[in-house]
């Protein structure tokens, strides 16, 4: 059990953020100034079932609290989890990247184990919150924004008029399942041709492996073989390095991802007409490789973007549509999750 006091002083407050991904489980404790006090990274043991994942999360939360030092009072735990989620209960509904979690009530399971308040939020919404408060929102101030996170899947977090937009029951913002290819690759959501299947880190690595398997990408094949020999994992960041060295197949894979991302952005810009769209997640390390094609497609398909496109290097101007890379890096979802208790208490 985690003991709590009712009114800890602000300097002694600590929150714990959890970034629950389909591949990795990241947990960190933060103080009230958003300094990270302790951090744990674990594989997400999805194959063992949701109860095992909850036990791992709770054990890690207790560990980071111990590492944070004495006289720290837990204000709450925030969890960013992949959707679709029913909120605020945190009930999963066939999450494509968490097989076996359908119907699982994450909030109840966590609070029962920890005996502490837990807030569950869509992971992309948590990342959007962090970017809005501590990332690009500081230089591009806006009451509304949309963030796409390109990782194992593709998430979308939306801030409307200074509030996280949840939709009717928490399932709003599933931008990763915008269809971009008719009868395309099957998706874990049950659909086909979703953005997630073409612009996520998983999709980019799959495209690289397919090209290597067909014998049309010897450079990629050699890189994958080296990673296997080193017992490492081939990642989109590896492919980005190869693309910057001039490998044409690698460059084409990133350009294709940019094309599909631009298609989805065009839909989002046309529907929401927001001032700010942020691209985050692991794939954003290849921004220079996919952004040119992304902007080309966005300009071709969105007349609203064409009417509101900002001038290059122009200071932030009202009435313009900005599409920029995330500023908080890989910790966006983790930091945003830790901010959730403050948001719920009206202190953010």
pLDDT in tens, 83-99: 888 998 899 998 887 89
Positive or negative torsion for Cα 166, 283, 104, 16: negative
Q: How far is CA 96 from CA 16, 205, 220, 264, 311, in A?
A: 25, 18, 28, 19, 39
Q: Which residues of the chain have pLDDT under 50?
A: 1-8
Give residues with Cβ within 8 angstroms of 24, minimum separation 6: 41, 42, 43, 44
State the pLDDT at residue 10. Answer: 59
State the pLDDT at residue 11. Answer: 59
Q: Give yes or no for a contact between 195 and 156, defined as CB atoms under 8 angstroms apart.
A: no
Q: How far is CA 248 from CA 244, 252, 283, in A?
A: 9, 6, 18
Nearest to 308 by CA among 322, 297, 296, 298: 322
The residues pairing with 77 across neighbouring beta strands, listed in sequence order, are 16, 118
State the pLDDT at residue 314. Answer: 77
What does the pLDDT look like over 5-41, one tens digit per residue? 444 455 578 999 999 988 889 999 999 889 999 999 9
Predicted structure pTM score: 0.87
State the pLDDT at residue 7. Answer: 47
């Amino acid at each position: 059990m985690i003991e709590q006091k009712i009114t800890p002083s602000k300097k002694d407050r600590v929150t714990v953020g959890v970034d629950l991904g389909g591949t990795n489980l990241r947990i960190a404790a933060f103080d009230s100034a958003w300094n990270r006090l302790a951090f744990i990274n674990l594989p997400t043991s999805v194959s063992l079932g949701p109860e095992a994942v909850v036990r791992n999360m709770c054990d890690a939360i207790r560990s980071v609290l111990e590492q944070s030092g004495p006289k720290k009072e837990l204000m709450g735990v925030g969890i960013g989890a992949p959707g679709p989620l029913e909120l605020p209960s945190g009930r999963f509904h066939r999450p494509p990247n968490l097989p076996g979690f359908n119907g699982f009530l994450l909030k109840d399971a966590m609070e029962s184990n920890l005996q502490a308040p837990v807030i569950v939020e869509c992971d992309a919404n948590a990342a959007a919150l962090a970017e809005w408060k501590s990332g690009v929102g500081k230089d591009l101030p806006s009451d509304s924004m949309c963030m796409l996170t390109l990782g194992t899947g593709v998430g979308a977090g939306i801030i409307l008029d200074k509030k996280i937009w949840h939709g009717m029951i928490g399932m709003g913002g599933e931008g990763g399942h915008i269809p971009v290819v008719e009868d395309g690759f099957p998706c874990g959501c049950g659909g086909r041709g979703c953005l997630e299947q073409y612009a996520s880190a998983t999709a980019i690595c799959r495209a690289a492996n397919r090209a290597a398997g067909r014998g049309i990408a010897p450079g990629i094949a050699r890189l994958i073989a080296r990673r296997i020999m080193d017992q490492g994992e081939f990642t989109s960041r590896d492919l980005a390095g190869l693309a910057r060295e001039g490998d044409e197949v690698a460059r084409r894979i990133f350009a294709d991802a940019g094309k599909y991302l631009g298609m989805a952005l065009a839909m989002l810009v046309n529907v929401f007409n927001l001032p700010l769209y942020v691209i985050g997640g692991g794939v954003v390390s290849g921004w220079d490789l996919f952004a040119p094609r992304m902007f080309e497609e966005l300009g071709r398909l969105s007349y609203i973007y064409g009417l509101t496109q900002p001038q290059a290097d122009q200071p932030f101007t009202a009435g313009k549509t900005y599409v920029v890379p995330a500023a908080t890096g890989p910790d966006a979802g983790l930091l945003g999750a830790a901010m959730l208790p403050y948001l719920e208490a009206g202190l953010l």
